[in-house]
Chains A and B, each alone.
Chain A
């Protein structure tokens, strides 16, 4: 069976600073993987390499055996064409820490924009799909609201609907609850849990340890640009093998 995601020896530098120092990661279809680690450990950067929001200098990323972002022609590694990268970005969907909803569009139009412009669906088809997903995240009643009229938690749920409506193979979540007031965190986590139950493949960067414990079938602990430890959360969180992880878990809050 081909892997859904295969990352091999991923290297990423900002100038002289190396932020990813050879990361490997595999995911099968239906996997829910949580990435934890202190800030600056490279979790978010790894996620952003997968949909080419960041360039990377070494290693390969494959989704369904298709090489992402770069190709090797005559021994020279080069970036793929923008149009090709735009197409590959459809293999994944992403939800961001700051939601990044389009402020001039209603919740519904935020979801339909990609369906119309990228998937070339008719307005009516796009609307049907968008309404279905807005209903799934519990916001159909707010479909004509603008982002500024929604709470942070509601905005994040619309943003998740916008990403999933594009029917990606893999959802990437980048600290989606970090910008939320504590009382709004659960409604967003609940949406993600529901998606997990439906078998959605997800790679989730999070600081919510209890959530990671409950939802992930595997946890990756990143430390200084490398994978420090990975495994079943029920084992990792109870008996960490490395001192680094033990340290990290001690300073984390399980709420």
Chain B
């Protein structure tokens, strides 16, 4: 095996990898932000006494979680236009990741809601709060603190899923790496550098989440 590592070609294109990483982060942040809103609404719907809310929410979570994300990406980009929904590459991927993360986050939030003692709601009712005030002032903040550790790994997972946008030629990190690979033939070097960028980003993300966790921890 006479492969000699030579990173020169990769370094010359490094700014393109960074630009790709920037786009990856943008995709993740926008999609996860939307996904969090979807996840919260769906999580409360899943816990609702009304089947009218619970059943569609359950169906959404089941369908999305049991479909590979690559299939969802391809479906949204290639199949939806046939049905009259036309989105550009980036918006199509953001929509897909948002819907996909919504289902996973809904499950995370639902588990967090189960862990909120029912007595807190009763204490809220007893001082005259409405159900909606209890949700926003008590249930939600307590639940979020419960799920922060689980949320951290879900976020990291979802960030890495942005690499699937390469399948529809969104110029994010993986797509740029593949292009550089093809142009320079520095296969090993390109993918080593790309992997390092993913690892570094996820490490920073995890550290950030741990900080938030520590700051918001419920003291026991």
A residues neighboring B (CB under 8 Å): 51-53, 82-83, 86-87, 89-90, 92-94, 96, 98, 100-104, 113-114, 117-118, 146, 148-149, 159, 162-163, 166
Distance between Cα atoms of A86 and B124 in the complex (Å) = 10
Known A53-B122, A103-B120; 7 more pairs at CB < 8 Å: A53-B126, A96-B123, A100-B117, A102-B138, A113-B129, A146-B219, A148-B220
**B142 and A104 contacting across the interface, CB-CB below 8 Å:** yes
**B125 and A100 contacting across the interface, CB-CB below 8 Å:** no
Q: List 27 A-B contacts (CB under 8 A).
A: A52-B125, A53-B122, A53-B126, A82-B131, A86-B125, A86-B128, A89-B128, A92-B126, A96-B123, A98-B119, A100-B119, A100-B120, A100-B123, A102-B120, A102-B124, A102-B138, A102-B142, A103-B142, A104-B218, A117-B129, A117-B137, A118-B127, A118-B129, A146-B218, A148-B219, A149-B219, A159-B123
Residues of A within 8 A of B117 (CB): 98, 100
**A86 and B126 contacting across the interface, CB-CB below 8 Å:** no
How far is the CB of A157 from the nearest CB of chain B, in Å?
15
**A114 and B128 contacting across the interface, CB-CB below 8 Å:** yes
**B219 and A166 contacting across the interface, CB-CB below 8 Å:** no
B133 lies within 8 A of chain A by Cβ: yes
Residues of A within 8 A of B128 (CB): 86-87, 89-90, 114, 118, 166
B13 lies within 8 A of chain A by Cβ: no
How far is the CB of B148 from the nearest CB of chain A, in Å?
12
Interface range on chain B (Cβ under 8 Å from partner):
20 to 34
How far is the CB of A34 from the nearest CB of chain B, in Å?
20
Residues of A within 8 A of B145 (CB): 104
User: Which residue of the partner chain, among B123, B125, B130, B133, contacts A102 with CB atoms under 8 Å?
Assistant: B123
B149 lies within 8 A of chain A by Cβ: no
Distance between Cα atoms of A146 and B142 in the complex (Å) = 13
B56 lies within 8 A of chain A by Cβ: no
Q: What's the A-B contact tally at a CB cutoff of 8 Å?
A: 77
Distance between Cα atoms of A117 and B137 in the complex (Å) = 9
Known: A100-B119, A102-B142. A113 touches B127 (CB 8 A): yes
Distance between Cα atoms of A214 and B67 in the complex (Å) = 67
How far is the CB of A120 from the nearest CB of chain B, in Å?
11
Closest B residue, CB atoms, query A113? B137
Closest B residue, CB atoms, query A110? B123
**B122 and A100 contacting across the interface, CB-CB below 8 Å:** yes
Write out, one digit per residue, whether chain B residues 66-109 have a CB within 8 A of any chain A CB (1) or not (0): 00000000000000000000000000000000000000000000
B141 lies within 8 A of chain A by Cβ: yes
**B218 and A96 contacting across the interface, CB-CB below 8 Å:** no
Q: Which of B117, B125, B128, B130 gathers the greatest number of chain A CB atoms within 10 Å? A: B128
**B141 and A101 contacting across the interface, CB-CB below 8 Å:** no
Residues of A within 8 A of B137 (CB): 113, 117
Distance between Cα atoms of A86 and B122 in the complex (Å) = 12
Residues of A within 8 A of B218 (CB): 103-104, 146, 148
Residues of A within 8 A of B138 (CB): 102
Residues of B within 8 A of A94 (CB): 123, 126
Residues of B within 8 A of A166 (CB): 127-128
Closest A residue, CB atoms, query B141? A104
How far is the CB of B10 from the nearest CB of chain A, in Å?
47
Distance between Cα atoms of A94 and B128 in the complex (Å) = 11
Residues of B within 8 A of A86 (CB): 125, 128-130
Distance between Cα atoms of A230 and B122 in the complex (Å) = 29
How far is the CB of A52 from the nearest CB of chain B, in Å?
8
